[in-house]
Amino acid sequence: MNEERMDGERMNVILITACPSGMATTFLAARRLEQAAQRRGWQPHTEMHGELEAVTPVSREAISAAELVVVAAERVPDAARFAGKRLYRAPIQQALPDPEAFLERAVREATAFDIASEPADAPVAAVSSEDSRVKSIVAVTACPTGVAHTFMAAEALEQAGRALGHRIHVETQGSVGAQNRISEADIEAADVVLLACDIEVDDERFAGKRVYRTSTGTALKQPQQTIQRALDEAQVESAGSENSGGKGGGERKSAKERGFYKHLLTGVSFMLPMVVAGGLCIALSFVFGIKAYEQEGTLAAALMQIGGGTAFALMVPVLAGYIAYSIADRPGIAPGMIGGMLASTLGAGFIGGILAGFLAGYSAKAVIRYIKLPSSVESLKPILIIPLLASLFTGLVMIYVVGTPVAVALNWLTDFLNNMGSTNAVLLGLLLGAMMCVDLGGPINKAAYTFGVGLLSTETYMPMAAIMAAGMVPPIGMGIATFLRRSRFAQAEREAGKASFVLGLCFISEGAIPFAAKDPLRVIPISMIGGAITGALSMFFSIKLMAPHGGLFVLLIPNAVNHALLYLLAIAAGSVITGVGYALLKRGEDSVVPTDVVSPSVASSGAAEANRSAS
């Protein structure tokens, strides 16, 4: 086969890319090499090994017809299939700067491939544990709101597990409870338990099993690597080992995953149903007139009593109780709720509730760890000693130390937010809107969201409206971009854009994650600009939102939003700016094959969950 034919005539070529990190480089290199091959008049068949989607191997027919195999990777995946083929291999980093020159070198330097020259650990994206037998994996996913990350991470793990050749059963603990439950037989047969949870879940049933812990974000973005680390690094845990201070198995946790952040989000996740139900009941009471609830015995008064008098009254105690539960397990619930109720009665609000939750949790944990009793009375510890001592400590600190200063600070914050001028309102909207879009469901996004939810307990509704509107902008914007400049997006990306648009309408910011993961330097800044504009417009229009979730579905509830048309205008403005901006910034030659992480099935599941939350 002469070199003239290689350069000038149609030739069948196989292109394989694999990046050690398994992220965007794999897809970007594949796309650029494919385009360079097409410019040469070649017929390329591409195989990509990455973490964001299952590998689709080239067919036997394509291998048989191939006149050249180009591998941009450290090793040749499934090397035996290419025995005897003309093959060129080089690191993927050499392919990205100049794919034309890379293919030129491949033509010159390719040689007949000898399988004996390939290292024994050659396969890429294949099972690399101590043996290649099929493993049985059970997993649990849970995020604070139980709507987006929970289901997206579950689907990503299921796809990755199948791609790696393992049996995997994923239980989701979403906003409607556990679904696809793991049975005792599944646990007994499992080689490893993978807990991808941002909140505390009941792990006692996994006592004695090898357990690996990580976050939903990690499982979503690196599902194959997560499964492989679980198989390699999981450790046997005893019941309640994490809460009792033992060495939990699995990933070394950051403070985000095991400390303040995780405990706070556990409390928020249990508080959210109270906020949603209470806010919507209050909104429904306004159907009969803004002041109709003042007439005793009327339906409006009953709705206000359910929402404002009961559901909202439970917000802070539940928040504090489940923060304490995350820290100290069941013994923390009673002192946490007592501290949260004190925070409410003292006027310390949600800030006081957060402090009470941490005080109760760590004091209960200290009693568990440091107070030793004779075995004859040890059984009294969880029902008498821990609740009494932890409640006394938390209550006294709240009354004499924390309560009054926090109440003063919260009253000042509430007065400032309710009476601030338009300039300050716009600036706050800009800040909250940008925060909602900077990490798409990450800690900054959750911090802004928690701030807005907490303010609902003080009857401050404007920040929550800006926060939800801004959180809808990135996924809607990505959907608009894929519609406006279809030629710059691959077919699968256009499908992901449709799913992203639906998720955005449901206030699921995570719908934009696949786009941000592959093109962060363009997606995140333009999303922040759009979100900031939406947040500023919402605050400028003095829009108030009674419910903290549900997306556009809350507009179906009368009086849930005070200026519905202006609210739609604010959302549309930011979304169009984001969509048009990214469509203009998107470079066709950098288009990469998107993932199946946000598939239409997940979009439908997320939409249904958000709808149920709103209703």
Q: Which of 108-122, 259-273, 276-290, 571-585 has the lowest mean pLDDT?
A: 108-122
DSSP state of 382: I
3-state secondary structure 60-84: HHHHHHCCEEEEECCCCCCHHHHCC
Which residues, in sequence order, are CB contacts of 203 under 8 Å at separation 6+?
A: 195, 211, 237, 239, 240, 242
Q: Is 437 a catalytic residue?
A: no
Tell me whether strands 86-90 and 12-18 are parallel, antiparallel or unpaired: unpaired
Could you give the percent of the chain with pLDDT greater than 90? 21
pLDDT over 80 (residue 499): yes
Q: Is the pLDDT of residue 244 over 50?
A: no
pLDDT at 26 over 80: no
Q: 19 an active-site residue?
A: yes
Fold match flag (3-117 vs 136-257): yes
Give the pLDDT confidence of 163-191 residue by residue, as tens digits. Answer: 777 889 998 887 667 788 888 888 888 88
Q: What is the pLDDT of residues 184-205, one digit of tens each?
A: 888 888 889 999 887 777 778 8
Closest CA to 500 of 585, 602, 587: 602
Spans of all domains in the chain: 3-117, 136-257, 290-417, 420-614
Cβ neighbour number for residue 117 with a 10 Å cutoff: 9
Q: pLDDT tens for residues 213-233?
A: 888 878 887 888 888 888 888
Do residues 551 and 472 lie in contact, with contact meaning Cβ atoms separated by under 8 Å? Answer: yes
HSE-up (13 A, CA, CB side) for residue 584: 7
Q: Which helix (H) or strand (E) holds 224?
A: helix 223-233
* Residue 131 pLDDT grade (very low, low, confident, very high; cuts 50, 70, 90): very low
Cα 20 to Cα 49, 93, 215, 222, 436: the distances in Å are: 9, 11, 21, 12, 31
Model confidence band, residue 118 (pLDDT cutoffs 50, 70, 90): low
The residues that bridge with 86 in the sheet, in sequence order, are 112
Rounded to 5°, angle at Cα 424 from 420 and 425: 75
Q: What is the pLDDT of residue 334?
A: 92
Tokens coding 412: 């000042």
Which contacts of 554-562 are long-range, i.e. CB under 8 A and separated by 24 or more positions?
Answer: 554/280, 554/614, 556/614, 557/280, 557/283, 557/284, 557/614, 558/283, 558/284, 558/286, 558/287, 559/283, 559/284, 559/286, 559/287, 560/279, 560/280, 560/283, 561/465
What pLDDT does 461 receive? 86
What was the pLDDT predicted at 205?
84
Give 356-411 pLDDT, tens digit per residue.
999 999 999 999 888 888 877 777 888 888 899 999 999 999 999 988 898 888 88
- pLDDT tens per residue, range 40-77: 889 999 988 765 556 778 888 889 899 999 999 878 88
Residue range 422-447, pLDDT digits in tens: 788 899 999 999 999 988 777 788 78
User: Which is catalytic among the residues 19, 197, 281, 506?
Assistant: 19
Judged by average pLDDT, the poorest of 158-162, 255-259, 306-310, 557-561 is 255-259
Q: Say whether pLDDT at 295 is over 50.
A: yes
Q: Read out DSSP for 403-429? A: HHHHHHHHHHHHHHHHH--HHHHHHHH
Residue 222 confidence (pLDDT) = 80
* Nearest-angstrom CA–CA distance, 240 and 200: 11
pLDDT of residue 315: 86
Q: What is the C-alpha to C-alpha distance for residues 143 and 227, in angstroms, rounded to an integer?
A: 18
pLDDT of residue 577: 95
Q: Stretch 492-515: mean pLDDT, rounded?
A: 82
| pLDDT at residue number 541 | 92
**Which numeric CATH code is attached to 136-257?**
3.40.50.2300
Residue 486 has pLDDT above 90, yes or no: no
Give the residue, 581 or 127, on which the prediction is more confident.
581
What does the pLDDT read at residue 359? 94
pLDDT of residue 403: 85
Give the range among 22-26, 560-564, 570-574 with minimum mean pLDDT: 22-26
The structure tokens listed for 40 are 């040469």
Question: Residue 353 has which token pair?
Answer: 């509730």
In this predicted structure, the answer to whether residue 527 has a pLDDT above a threshold of 80 is yes
Q: Specify the pLDDT at position 363.
A: 94
Spatial CA neighbour of 301 closest among 282, 276, 280: 282
Using an 8 Å Cβ cutoff, are 489 and 593 in contact? no
pLDDT band at 615 (very low <50, low <70, confident <90, very high): very low
Q: Which residue has the higher pLDDT, 260 or 573?
A: 573
Supply the pTM of this predicted model.
0.58
Radius of gyration of the chain, Cα coordinates, nearest whole angstrom: 27
Q: Write down the pLDDT at residue 15.
A: 93
For 133, 145, 150, 446, the CA distances from 508, given in Å and listed in that order, are 38, 10, 11, 12
Band of pLDDT at residue 510, cut at 50, 70 and 90 = confident
> Looking at domain 3-117, which CATH architecture does it have?
3-Layer(aba) Sandwich (3.40)
Contact by Cβ (8 Å): 352, 361: no
Residue 597 confidence (pLDDT) above 50: no
Distance separating alpha carbons of residues 139 and 32, to the nearest angstrom: 36
Mean pLDDT of 254-273: 71
Q: Quote the pLDDT of residue 252.
A: 44
Whole-number Cα distances in Å, 95 to 10, 85, 102, 338, 411: 21, 20, 6, 62, 60
> Catalytic residue among 143, 197, 437, 506, which?
143
User: Residue 48: which residues within 8 A CB-CB, separation 6 or more?
Assistant: 16, 17, 18, 26, 27, 30, 55, 56, 593
Question: Which tokens belong to 211?
Answer: 């357990």
Look at 231 and 241; give whichever has higher pLDDT. Answer: 231
Under 8 Å between Cβ of 394 and 360? yes
Please give the structure tokens belonging to residue 501. Answer: 């648009």
Q: Rounded CA gap, 95 and 84, in Å?
A: 23
**What pLDDT is attached to residue 148?**
67
In the prediction, which pLDDT does 20 show? 57
